[in-house]
């Protein structure tokens, strides 16, 4: 089949119910996305550009192309199109205040502090965590690992460049201390300074697939992603996140995400904050 041709919008046939079910099942099986009833129009709109770009005339042709691509490049592009990568610096500020006032002092004796930002999107959460911990615990070796399923979002996170209006909510000293102005076509943008970019690592992780870390984390942030999962998938993901925590480690989820009704072994601390039990230590 010839691909890459430029065809008109009307040359792509409307997304049929059967095709929606195929894509819905693929999205669920591969990365846990629960495309509920009523999402057919959204799927059609978000994937139409990809269907046209490959020169296909139907979503069924595109689906078969994605399934046949053993490199999974096409699958990753499909995920990028379907997943909303919305984030911001210091999003859900209550978490960062709790981290600063209550959690960070408990980490003060550590020489190295590792944090995992799961579903980090374009990196704002990673840099918010790094800046805050560096400010509160100066001199500590703070390392933040950011993961996401979207290659497109990860590329932006690694670049760490943001327009000035995106950082207006940061404490005024943070941009001066941790960022530098971009030049060229990105006048008015700021980039995280190289010494701090070196303290973050980004990698693609599908929370539905097996993954492992060299050491457990005292802190894991996985916020505003489980709202896209059904209960069964949430239980699987929370179980995996729990194994990535050290005993006594904390899991932060989004404030719109309650773990009530989800089986897990974590202790509830406060809204959207849970702890892996630690033997003989309630703190």
What's residue 1's pLDDT?
43
Does the active-site annotation cover 46?
yes
- pLDDT higher than threshold 60 for residue 280: no
Which of 13, 46, 158, 199 is catalytic? The answer is: 46
Q: What is the pLDDT of residues 211-250, one digit of tens each?
A: 999 999 999 999 999 988 999 999 999 999 999 999 999 9
What's residue 279's pLDDT?
66
Of the chain, the percentage scoring pLDDT greater than 70 comes to 94
What are the φ and ψ backbone dihedral angles of 245, each rounded to 5 degrees?
A: -90, 145
Q: What is the pLDDT of residues 25-66, one digit of tens each?
A: 999 999 899 998 889 999 999 999 999 999 999 999 999 999
Nearest residue to 224 via CA among 80, 95, 81: 95
Which of 91, 134, 148, 275 is catalytic? The answer is: 148
Lowest-confidence segment of 158-162, 165-169, 264-268 by average pLDDT? 165-169
What's residue 7's pLDDT?
42
**What's the pTM?**
0.88
CB-hemisphere CA count at 13 Å for 114?
12
The DSSP code sequence of 147-184 is EES-HHHHHHHHHTEEEGGGGTTS-THHHHHHEEE--G
Structural domains in the chain, sorted by start: 9-82 (1.10.155.10), 93-275 (3.40.50.150)
Does the active-site annotation cover 69?
no
């Amino acid at each position: 089949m010839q691909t890459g041709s430029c065809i008109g919008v009307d040359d792509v046939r409307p997304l049929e119910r059967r095709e929606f079910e195929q894509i819905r099942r693929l999205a669920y099986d591969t990365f846990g996305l629960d495309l509920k009833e009523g999402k057919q129009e959204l799927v059609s709109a978000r994937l139409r550009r990809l269907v046209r770009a490959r020169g296909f005339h139907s979503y069924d042709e595109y689906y078969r192309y994605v399934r046949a691509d053993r490199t999974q490049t096409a699958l990753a592009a499909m995920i990028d199109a379907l997943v909303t990568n919305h984030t911001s610096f210091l999003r859900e500020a209550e978490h960062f205040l709790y981290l600063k006032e209550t959690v960070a002092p408990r980490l003060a004796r550590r020489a190295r502090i590792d944090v995992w930002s799961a579903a980090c999107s374009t990196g704002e959460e990673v840099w918010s965590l790094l800046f805050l911990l560096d400010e509160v615990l100066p001199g500590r070796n703070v390392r933040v690992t950011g993961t996401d399923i979207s290659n497109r979002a990860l590329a932006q996170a690694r670049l760490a460049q943001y327009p000035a209006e995106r950082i207006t909510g940061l404490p005024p000293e943070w941009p001066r201390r941790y960022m530098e102005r971009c030049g060229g076509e990105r006048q008015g943008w700021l980039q995280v300074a190289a010494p701090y970019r070196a303290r973050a690592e980004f990698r693609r992780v599908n929370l539905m697939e097996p993954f492992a870390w060299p050491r457990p984390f005292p802190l894991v942030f996985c916020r505003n992603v489980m709202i896209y999962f059904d209960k069964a998938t949430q239980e699987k993901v929370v179980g995996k996140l729990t194994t990535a925590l050290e005993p006594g480690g904390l899991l932060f989820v989004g404030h719109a995400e309650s773990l009530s009704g989800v089986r897990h072994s974590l202790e509830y601390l406060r809204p959207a904050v849970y702890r892996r039990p630690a033997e003989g230590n309630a703190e």
